[in-house]
Amino acid sequence: MSNQIILTVTRSGGSAVAEQNTRFNIEPGSGQALTIPAADHTDYRFTDAATGLAPEGLAFNRVGDHLYIHDKASGKSQPDIIIENYYNHAGNKMPGLQADGVLSPYYGEISSPITAEQVTVHQTAGTTNKMAIALSSLAGAGLLGALAGGGGGGGGSSESPPAATIPAPQPIAAGHAILNNPASSAHTAAQGKTIVSATPNPSTNTTPLAARPSETAKPSETVKPSETVKPSETVKPSETVKPSETVKPSETVKPSETVKPSETVKPSETVKPSETAKPSETVKPSETVKPSETVKPSETVKPSETVKPVISDGQTGGGHDYHVYQHPKYGKYIDAAEFGTDPSGRSDSLPAINAALAAAHKENAAVYLSGNLYISNQMVLNKANSGVTALFGNGMGNTTISFDKAQTGVFNSDTNEDDVRAFAGILIDGQSNKTIADLSVKYTHPDFYRSGQSYFGKVNGIVVNDADNTLISKVEVSGANRAGVFFTSTHTLQPDPQGSQGRTYKARLIRGEVDETYENLPLGENNRIIDSNLHHNRVAGVLLAYQKNFIADNNVMSWNGHEKDGGTGYGIASMAGSYNYGITFRNNTTDHNYRKGLDVHDGDNIVIENNVSIGDRLYGIGVYNRQFTMDTVKVHNNTVIADPEFRLAQDDNPGLRYFGYSGIQLQTNTMFRDLHSGEAGHFEISRNTIKNLDVYRNAIQTYGIEFRNHEPNMHYTLDIAGNTIEGASVKYAIAVINNTKSKILDTAGQGSGTINVTDNTIDIGSIGRGTLPVFINEESNNGKLRGEVTFSGNNITIREHSDGTIEGVQMVGNAETYRVTDNTFEIRGTMDKPVVSLLGRTDSEAPELIVSGNNITTDLTGNLYRSWIERNATVDVYADNNTHNGKELAEVHHTVTPPASEPAPGTVEAAKTAYVLDLGIGSNTISGNDTHETAYPRIAAAQTATVSENTAKLSGQLSDGLPALNDLLAVNDLDLSNVLGAGSSTAGTIGATVAEYTRSLDINEEQWQNEVSAHII
The pLDDT value recorded for residue 894 is: 86
Residue 680 maps to a domain: yes
Is the model more confident about 416 or about 151? 416
Share of the chain above pLDDT 70, in %: 66
Residue 179 pLDDT > 50 = no
pLDDT at residue 225 tops 50:
no
Q: Is residue 11 part of a domain?
A: yes
The neighbouring-strand residues paired with 604 are 581
pLDDT at 651: 94
- pLDDT confidence of 1, banded at 50, 70, 90? low
* pLDDT classification of 1013: cutoffs 50, 70, 90: very low
**% of the chain surpassing 90 pLDDT:** 48
pLDDT band at 180 (very low <50, low <70, confident <90, very high): very low
Q: Which of 91-105, 513-527, 725-739, 786-800 has the lowest mean pLDDT?
A: 91-105
The DSSP element (H or E) to which 623 belongs, if any, is strand 619-624
Per-residue pLDDT, averaged over 244-269, amounts to 37
| Angstrom distance (rounded) from CA 939 to CA 908 | 9
Confidence class for position 942, pLDDT limits 50, 70, 90: very low
Q: Tell me the C-alpha distance between 613 and 589, whole Å.
A: 6
Reply yes or no on whether the pLDDT at 297 is more than 50.
Answer: no
pLDDT in tens, 251-261: 333 333 333 33
Q: How many CB atoms lie within 10 A of CB 565?
A: 27
Tell me, what's the pLDDT at 210? 30
In a domain, 769, yes or no: yes
Does residue 399 surpass a pLDDT of 50?
A: yes
Q: Residue 816 is which amino acid?
A: E
Nearest of 35, 43, 98, 21 to residue 69 by alpha carbon: 35
Amino acid at 448: F
Contacts of 932 (CB under 8 A, 6+ apart): none
* Average pLDDT value for residue range 310-325: 88
How high is the pLDDT of residue 378?
97
Query: Stretch 751-779: mean pLDDT, rounded?
Result: 93
What pLDDT does 603 receive? 96
The arithmetic mean of pLDDT across residues 29-45, rounded, is 84
Asked if the structure places residue 713 within a domain, the reply is yes
No. of helices (H) and no. of strands (E), the chain: 8, 64
Res. 770: pLDDT tops 50? yes
Kindly state the average pLDDT of the residues 701-711.
Answer: 93
Residue 425 has pLDDT above 80, yes or no: yes
Domain boundary among 57, 88, 119: 88
- For 606, the enclosing helix (H) or strand (E) is strand 604-609
Q: Which domain holds residue 637?
A: 604-648+658-829
Residue 187 domain-assigned? no
Tell me whether strands 556-558 and 533-535 are parallel, antiparallel or unpaired: parallel
Name the H helices within 415-517. Answer: 505-510
Structure confidence at residue 439 as a pLDDT band (50, 70, 90): very high
pLDDT per residue as tens digits for the range 352-394: 999 999 999 999 999 999 999 999 999 999 999 999 999 999 9
CB atoms near residue 187 (< 10 Å): 11
Q: Is there a contact between 647 and 617 (Cβ–Cβ < 8 Å)?
A: yes
CA–CA distances in Å: residue 736 to residues 102, 121, 728? 54, 37, 21
Q: Which amino acid is at 885?
A: N
Question: Stretch 402-412: mean pLDDT, rounded?
Answer: 96
Question: SS3 sequence, 278-314?
Answer: CCCCCCCCCCCCCCCCCCCCCCCCCCCCCCCCEEEEE
Phi/psi for 999 (5° steps) reads -60, -30
pLDDT at 20: 61
How far lies 147's CA from each of 158, 203, 536, in Å? 19, 14, 15
Q: What is the spatial distance between Cα 242 and Cα 85, in angstroms, rounded to a whole number?
A: 11
pLDDT at position 100 is 67
pLDDT in tens, 70-119: 888 877 777 889 898 888 888 788 887 776 666 677 644 333 332 333 33
**pLDDT value at residue 102:** 67
Helix, strand, coil distribution of the chain in percent, nearest 5: 10, 30, 55
Model confidence at 731: pLDDT above 70: yes
What residues have CB less than 8 Å from 329, skipping those under 6 apart?
Answer: none
Query: Rounded CA gap, 449 and 459, in Å?
Result: 12
Is the pLDDT at 890 greater than 50, yes or no? yes
Residue 248, burial from CB neighbour count under 10 angstroms (0-12, 13-18, 19+): exposed
- Which of 60-69, 191-200, 630-639 has the lowest average pLDDT? 191-200
Q: What is the DSSP track for 940-971?
A: IIIIHHHHHHHHHHHHHHH-SSS--TTGGGGS
pLDDT band at 31 (very low <50, low <70, confident <90, very high): confident
What pLDDT was estimated at residue 53? 83
24 vs 523, more confident: 523
Of 101, 103, 78, give the one whose Cα is nearest residue 93. Answer: 103
- Has residue 137 been placed in a domain? no
Between residues 41 and 389, the one the model is more confident about: 389
User: Has residue 709 been placed in a domain?
Assistant: yes
What is the distance between the alpha carbons of residues 1003 and 1017, in angstroms, rounded to a whole number? 24
* pLDDT of 381: 98
* Averaged pLDDT score across all residues of the chain: 74
- Reduced to 3 states (helix: H, G, I; strand: E, B; else coil), residue 688 is coil
pLDDT greater than 70 at residue 975: no
Comparing 295-309, 504-518, 575-589, the range with the smallest average pLDDT is 295-309
* Among 60, 88, 116, residue at a domain's last position: 88
pLDDT tens digits along 943-956: 222 222 333 333 33
What domain count does the chain have?
2
Rounded to 10 degrees, the C-alpha dihedral 411/412/414/415 comes to -110
Query: 542 with 552: CB under 8 angstroms?
Result: yes
Sort 959 into a burial class: Cβ within 10 Å, 0-12 / 13-18 / 19+. Answer: middle
Distance set, CA 99 to CA 52, 54, 88, 426 (Å): 9, 9, 32, 55
625 within some domain: yes
The last residue of one of the domains, among 47, 62, 88, is: 88
Which is more confident, 246 or 129?
129
CB atoms within 10 A of CB 855: 17
Beta-sheet strands, E only, within 647-738: 661-667, 680-686, 689-693, 702-708, 715-721, 724-730, 732-738
Listed range (62-66, 146-150, 793-797) with the worst mean pLDDT? 146-150
DSSP bridge pairs for 83: 36, 67
